[in-house]
Amino acid sequence: MFNQLFALAWKDLKIFFKDPAAVALTFLTPFVFIVVMSYALQGVFGSSEEEALQILVVNQDRGERADGIIQALRDMKGFQIETTWEDQPLSQEVAESLIVAGRRSLAVIFPPEFSSALEQPLLATERLTATVVLLADPVISSQFTEPLLGTLRGLIAREAFAALAPQGIEFLFDRFAPDVPADTRAVLKSQARASMSGDNAPVNVVQRAPAGMQVAQKPNTFQQNIPGYTIYGIFWIVNALALSVLQEKRDGTFRRLMVAPLPRTVLLAGKLLPYYAINLSQIAILLGVSSALFGMSLGHSPAGLILVSLAAAASALGLGVLVSAIARTESQAAGLSLILILTMSALGGCFVPRFVMPDWLRTLGLITPQAWALDAYQDLLVRGYGLREVLPQVGALLGFASLFFGIGVWRFRFE
């Protein structure tokens, strides 16, 4: 029986590797997808300098207050600040023309009276108001503009307090404690200024991963995208398997094999085994190459990675059996595979993160093995979890595999 199983599996592997186009499509397509989409989405998931959001800054401020804010923006990793264009200080006209030409998408304009407005006397009777403008290409979504506006408002508020604090302290001393000597006043004003600055602020905001996650390095765009596109890639085995089964039915080779002293379970297992091996090779190659080329972390749990990969590949193979059983012709199999793979991958978050989806769609996504597989891979590769934490997802994937296999084998016809 094992010789027969081996003969069946070896035959399909031979057929597969005799078709260079199929091999290239199986292994290269997801890889090309990973590279193209990861670079394309660097702005969404990126964290390094070259992946940062480009912002033009036009500084018309006659004082120095805007400089402080611009420096604070430069210090943030998410923004790439440009204050010059072709070695000339950026003007509002140039910034607007660059946005109109589609070369840049965002610009911040600090007005000439910016510092004056912040530093105006505490009890001035005519209040000066300055307006900072954010110029944005209308196609830029609020997901990008709102965080930038929030950052600007925060920095301006901090700068305003820093400008007002010495005046306020001086006013309070004059009014309520005029005997305090000038050097003491200077120390207190200095402390107030320092507490308004970012470095010495009494309250800080930091970003870190929750307890239990061992994130070795901050995930880059590849780390975010590769699991999704790997899962998307392995589910294409559904199409390959279904077409191969229908071809065997059409050509009569299944009929010939059924005459042989060969149990049908062995025949089916021999048919599936090579596709399972191909799927696992796909995962190994995609993750391995991504790690080698793009420095993607493979997490801390090789056992977890192997278990999730085995379960994810089993669910993909199960879906392949189901499509093979339902489709009557090769055209039906191709169409059904396409619609199932694309829909389920999209719902499962392979293309767009599930956290940006509406609640109902996020819940609906849970009926796809892709969502569970992606969650498991992200747990291992991005969140730094181990084997124990991904067992629920592995269980769900094996459940999907059993369901698909069960219905598929029940409906499967060898002729």
Partner 1 sequence: MITVHGLVKRYGQRTAVNGVSFSVQASEVFGLLGPNGAGKTTTISILATLLQPDEGQITIGGYDLRTQAAAAKPLIGFVPQELALYPTLSAWDNLAFFGRIYGLHGKQLHARIESVLSLVRLRDRAGEAVRNFSGGMKRRLNIAAGLIHQPRVLFLDEPTVGVDPQSRNFIFEHVAQLKAEGMTIIYTTHYMEEAERLCDRVAIMDEGRIVAMDTTRALINLLGGGVIYVGLPPDSAEALLPAVRALPHVHSASAQDGRLKLETSDAKPALLALIELCNAHNAAILSLEVLEPNLESVFLHLTGKRLRN
The bridge status of strand 53-59 relative to strand 79-82 is: parallel
Does residue 21 touch partner 1 according to CB under 8 A? no
Does residue 258 touch partner 1 according to CB under 8 A? yes
Tokens 């090309």 — which residue? 32
For partner 1, which residue of 13, 140, 194, 262 counts as binding (CB under 8 A)? Answer: 262
CA–CA separation, 407 vs 415, rounded Å? Answer: 17
Q: CB 105 → partner 1: shortest distance, Å?
A: 51
- x/- letters, 190..219, toward partner 1 (CB under 8 A): ------------------------------
Burial of 314 (0-12, 13-18, 19+ CB in 10 A): buried
Element (H, E) at 59: strand 53-59
Residue whose CB is less far from partner 1, 11 or 189: 11
Residue whose CB is less far from partner 1, 351 or 412: 412
Residue whose CB is less far from partner 1, 16 or 85: 16
Does residue 19 touch partner 1 according to CB under 8 A? yes
For partner 1, which residue of 50, 87, 183, 415 counts as binding (CB under 8 A)? Answer: 415
Does residue 133 touch partner 1 according to CB under 8 A? no
Residues touching partner 1: how many (CB under 8 A)?
Answer: 24
In terms of Cα–Cα distance, which of 66, 48, 49, 46 is closest to 57?
66
| 250, HSE (Cβ side, Cα atoms, 13 Å) | 12
What are the helix and strand counts (H, E) for the chain?
17, 6
CA–CA separation, 93 vs 34, rounded Å? Answer: 39
**Number of residues in the chain:** 415
CB atoms within 10 A of CB 281: 13
Does residue 24 touch partner 1 according to CB under 8 A? no
For partner 1, which residue of 102, 138, 202, 261 counts as binding (CB under 8 A)? Answer: 261
Q: CB 11 → partner 1: shortest distance, Å?
A: 5
- Token pair of 386, please? 């181990």
Does residue 251 touch partner 1 according to CB under 8 A? yes
Q: CB 18 → partner 1: shortest distance, Å?
A: 5
Does residue 15 touch partner 1 according to CB under 8 A? yes
CA–CA separation, 85 vs 351, rounded Å? Answer: 35
Residue whose CB is less far from partner 1, 118 or 267: 267
The bridge status of strand 106-110 relative to strand 53-59 is: parallel
Site residues (vs partner 1, CB under 8 A): 3-4, 6-8, 10-11, 14-15, 18-19, 250-253, 255-262, 415
